[in-house]
Structures are given as C-alpha cells and as structure tokens.
Copies of this chain bind each other. A is one copy, B any other.
Amino acid sequence: MQIVKTVSGMRRLAREWRRAGARVGLVPTMGSLHAGHLSLARRARRLAGPRGKVVVSIYVNPTQFAPTEDFARYPRDLKRDARLCRAAGVDAVFAPRDEEMYPRDGAEAFSTYVVEETLSRTMEGVSRPTHFRGVATVVTKLFHIVQPDLAVFGAKDFQQAAIVRRMVRDLNIPVRLVVAPTFREPDGLAMSSRNQYLRGAQRQEALALWRSLQQARAAVGRARQPLPATRLKASLKRLIEREPSARVDYIEFFDPGTLTPVAMVTRGVRLALAVFIGKTRLIDNTLL
C-alpha cells in the first residue's frame, strides 16, 4: 500500500492505474478511521473488483469547518489510519497537506468553490452554513485528482450523500456513487470519529439519538394514519433532552429524494437529527 501526500503523486498513480485498465474506487474520509469507514473501503474493494484499486483519502478539510467548530482538535492519527487501511486491503492512502489542496499565495490564493443551492438549505446547512460548500469543493477536487470510477459514501451523512449525488448529476461528473449503510456500535450508537470526544456518562447519554430513531420508527409502524411532524418532533425532543448533557440542534422529517421537510410523517419518510452531547455534536438518521 502506498501513502501519497501530493496531488501530483496521486494523479500520477491514478493515471498509471487507468492506463492499465484498473477500475478505481475512492472512499473520501477525514481519517480517524473506525469500522464504519473500513466497511466503506471493503465495499469499494468489492465494487472495484479483484484487478481494481481502492484509494482512501484522509484529509481533515478546513473549508467544511466554521471558525467556531472543531477543526483544530479533530482527531488525526495517520499512522494508525494507514495501518487500518493496509489491513483492509486498500491500495493507496491519499493524505495531502493543506498547502497542496488550498494554495495560499497572496493574490493567487485559492478562490474557486462548488456550491449546491437547494438540498444544502435545510438541516446541516442551516446549522453549518458553509459546511456543504466545503464538502462539495473538496469532493470535486478529490474526484479530479483520483478520477475514480466509483466512490463510496456513508449513509450516516445522509444529506451530504444527497448533495454529492446532486452535484455529480448537475456537473456531469463521470463517477458512480454508492451510499453504504451506517455502521453502529453493538448498543446502536452510530460510529463517528467524534464519538471519542464523549467523556464518562456522555457515552451512555449519546444513545438518546438511537433511541429516538427507534421510537419514531415504532410510532410510524403502529400508526393507522400520517402523524403530524411537529408532534413527533416535540416528543423526540423530550425523550432526548431527558439526558442531562443532551441538547437537540434539529430534528427533521423529510422526503428522502428532495430533502423537502414534510408536515405529515408516514413510512418512506426519512428522519434526521443533530444533537449536542455536552460540546460534542452528533448526527444520525433513519428511514421510517
């Protein structure tokens, strides 16, 4: 397995692979890998086939963090990540430095962004106004550098996957997108690099996200008619905020195709939520 730190090096490797006719799969990550990420890498490996190549990009992308967010303290451990990737049969880890990705030279500093303007307007886009612009921009860059045949994203970031899918369609990017299911801890907590921020009792309190998804599914499962979203939101919020360090950022019921919020909740609607456990912001979502 190779660890590539420059754009030109990654480009060169990808070009060799393409010339040799290898199918290339990309898994974009911010590192601090957990079993969820590794499941995406294995999925990419299966889809790329035995002669194919799998790239895991490891890059804590500054443009998707607001100045108030956890960019500086986001966990980074390239050695550990590389070991995990090697064990998972990854062919290359692409781990560029910021200066490689975002040139800063004065009047010639980086100045081009990709913006999605419809699906980005709700949920994470409200709480984190420049987040998806940063995501769309860095994903576009990674697609151009690696030129993968396919890319695998996790369903935990459901809105992100929907926005990348829209971007790929709108900009005609020649890549196949695959969205793989959320990986969970045995007790239901969605795997996230940010789970390691949780201290003491917070780990238990964080289960409120999973419990609220379960409760919503049960409610919709036994309902004979559509349920008002406002009422369901209020009851989930009560459930979650029973935990002393939990504070709901948003709870949203929406059409999974368009991300448009719905007033009445039925099966087929998707539920997403963001919850602060202390200072740690966690997200999760499910199909109802």
Contacts and interface: CB of A to CB of B under 8 A. Distances in A.
Interface of A: 7, 11, 103, 107-119, 136-137, 140-141, 144-145, 147, 166-167, 169-174, 255, 257-258, 260
B109 A171 contact: no
A94 B189 CA distance: 50
Q: Which 5 A-B pairs have the closest CB atoms?
A: A112-B170, A107-B258, A111-B118, A144-B172, A112-B167
A147 B147 CA distance: 11
B136 A112 contact: yes
B172 A145 contact: yes
Question: How many subunits of this chain does the assembly comprise?
Answer: 2
Contact of A119 (B111, B166, B174): B111
Nearest to A7: B172
B112 A117 contact: yes
A272 to B, nearest CB: 17
Nearest to A102: B170
A7 B172 CA distance: 8
Given A108-B258, A112-B136, A144-B173, 14 more contacts: A7-B172, A11-B174, A103-B170, A107-B255, A107-B257, A107-B258, A111-B116, A112-B114, A112-B117, A112-B167, A113-B114, A113-B115, A114-B114, A140-B171
Chain A at the B interface: SS class: mixed
Indicate the member of A103, A115, A167, A258 with the most B CB atoms within 10 Å. Answer: A115
A214 to B, nearest CB: 29
Contacts of A141: 170-172
A204 to B, nearest CB: 39
A173 to B, nearest CB: 5
